[in-house]
Chain A
Amino acid sequence: MFDQMLAVAWRVLRQLARDRRFLGLSLFVPLLITYMLYVFFEGVKNPFVKPREFILPMGAFMVHFITYLLCTIVLVRERTAHTLARMFVNGYTRGSVIGGYMLSYSLLATLQTLIVLVALYGLFKLDYDWQTLLAIYGVTWLLAVISIALGILVSNFARNEGQIFPFVPLVTLPSLFFSGLIVPVSSLPQWMGALAYIAPLYYATEAIRGLTGQKGDVSQWAGLLIYGAIVFVLATFTLREQE
């Protein structure tokens, strides 16, 4: 399966390299949004709003949103172009297809995460030590990789590009609502607070806040990892070889 996975990853990377506009936009858009985030917080001269509490989780949300969306669209395009069916008939396995996509899009996510964090670091003049920055990078990168698996999982339930759109707010908005970014999860009713566990951004926000000395829980990176493993397994089992 490993050589098949490498074949899928290599093919996806070749496609990304050929589609320079897609690649350029995928890397430029996070940078642009990061700058807009900076402009927004610069404009808000409210002493009760502390940008440092928001900017790193917001950066993680950006990477999560863009990676999830791109991966969902690309996978659905594979289905509508019948190349996914052709891959299976040629003997590619579900694991190799998902693994190949995870591998190739992880490289893109690595770059996106790097761009967003470097931009945040420069624009907001963050002064964390390099170990903290590396740990933040690790958590954000993990969230990006999990977003790829989430994109694959969601794409398994869409038959065409049009059907993706209802899934976009369905995944990203609750992820934001229950992440603790807007209101602390502890202030939500108990049953609603439980929904935070299905939002990957919750684990990332908790871990990042813990790392940056705010009220958070560093150990939630492990929760993110477990969440990712569950999504990966679900994505593998819901990817249909037969219609």
Chain B
Amino acid sequence: MDNAVQVAGLVKRYGKLEALKNIHLRIAPGEIFGLVGANGAGKSTLIQILVGALRYDQGQVSVLGFEPLKQARLLRRDLGYMPQSPALYEDLSSRENIRFFGRAHRLPDLEKRLDEVLDFMQLRDRQNEPVHTFSGGMKQRVSLACTLIHRPKLLLLDEATAGVDPKLREAFWAHFHELAAQGVTILFSTHQMDEALHCSRVAVMRQGVVLACDTPRNLLMRGRAQVKIWRGDTVLDERLDDYPRTLPLLLQQHGLDPAVSRIEVIEETLEDVVLNLINAGEDSHV
């Protein structure tokens, strides 16, 4: 198995609406791969196809070497899926929910793993309380615990950290990095651009199309920089593409002019870059 996930020419239609349009993706084992995009971009549809919960119309899909529709049984042993909604039994406690999803995998040391995962998710104190008494963030924690209980090789997390407080979110990411270091592949969908920085690669999606797929650093390099140079009483204000290369050229024009009193470079954030990509995509579709 070269790639944990391999998708080629994937098309998914809901009636006349083409939700995914000719998607190509390759995700290497141990990679943390981010799917970024607004609502309706196709992130959840793509994840549901990868877990074998949704049929697709065209293309080839391979997940951990298996075809998700035809080899679902084999695939699901090593797959952890966290849906966008918590998908929990509200009348049951967190421990009972996690135990129930764990029992599907016939784990011999289920109770030990339950203790571990409850500790990690900081749920031990309220493990016996019904889930309907929990906040949204706590439900997300229970949902993630249900996903991790059988130690899957591939994690597919649909908006996993939505509603989770920043401190716990950092703990989640530390754990995801630990898992990735152990060879677990993680596919993560999010709206939040700061989270994309945790990913080894990011695919920016818009209306069923992958607009860009690259490392967060390379995506940042696509951003423009605003450069302001104060020279005497005048201020030169320039916007530069690929500023690591173009900024020296601009500065060379000024040499070491002692009149240059201040230089300010404001880089675009990843969020700006992604929004620009999405907006450019929209413009091209008008």
Contacts and interface: CB of A to CB of B under 8 A. Distances in A.
Interface of A: 3-4, 7, 11, 14-15, 18-19, 81-83, 85-93, 241-243
Nearest to A84: B87
A19 B91 contact: yes
B101 interface: yes
A139 B77 CA distance: 41
Given A15-B91, A90-B76, A242 B55 contact: yes
Interface in B69-94: 69, 72-73, 76-77, 79, 81, 83, 85, 87-89, 91-92
Contact of A91 (B87, B88, B105, B130): B105
Interface stretch (B46-54, B229-237, B238-246): B46-54
Contact of A86 (B52, B73, B87, B150): B87
A91 B106 CA distance: 10
Given A3-B106, A91-B104, A85 B91 contact: no
A89 B76 CA distance: 6
Nearest 3 pairs of A and B residues by beta carbon? A7-B103, A82-B87, A18-B91
A81 B86 CA distance: 8
B100 interface: yes
Nearest to A81: B87
6 contacts: A7-B104, A88-B53, A91-B105, A243-B53, A243-B54, A243-B55
B67 interface: no
Nearest to B90: A81
Contact of B101 (A82, A86, A93): A86
B96 interface: yes
Contacts, number: 76
A241 B104 contact: no
Contacts of A19: 91
A82 B85 contact: yes
A83 B241 CA distance: 47
B104 A82 contact: no
Given A18-B92, A91-B76, 6 more contacts: A3-B106, A11-B89, A14-B91, A81-B85, A91-B77, A91-B105
A89 B82 CA distance: 10
Given A14-B96, A242-B52, A242-B54, A90 B89 contact: no
B103 A89 contact: no
B76 A15 contact: no
A104 to B, nearest CB: 13
A15 B92 contact: yes
Nearest to A8: B100
Contact of B51 (A14, A89, A93): A89
Contacts of A92: 104
Contacts of A82: 83, 85, 87
Given A82-B83, A83-B88, A83-B89, A90 B105 contact: yes
Given A7-B100, A7-B104, A243-B53, A91 B73 contact: yes
Given A83-B88, A85-B87, A91-B73, A11 B54 contact: no
A152 B150 CA distance: 29
Nearest to B105: A91
B91 A89 contact: no
A20 to B, nearest CB: 10
Contacts of A93: 73
Contacts of A88: 53, 72, 76
Given A11-B92, A11-B100, A18-B91, A86 B76 contact: no
A241 B73 CA distance: 11
A86 B83 contact: yes
Residue among A14, A15, A85, A242 with the highest chain B CB neighbour number at 10 A: A242
Given A18-B91, A241-B52, A90 B101 contact: yes
Nearest to A80: B85
A82 B89 CA distance: 10
Interface in B197-235: none
B81 A89 contact: yes
A3 B103 CA distance: 8
A85 B150 CA distance: 17
A85 B53 contact: yes
Nearest to B54: A243
Interface in B21-56: 48, 51-55
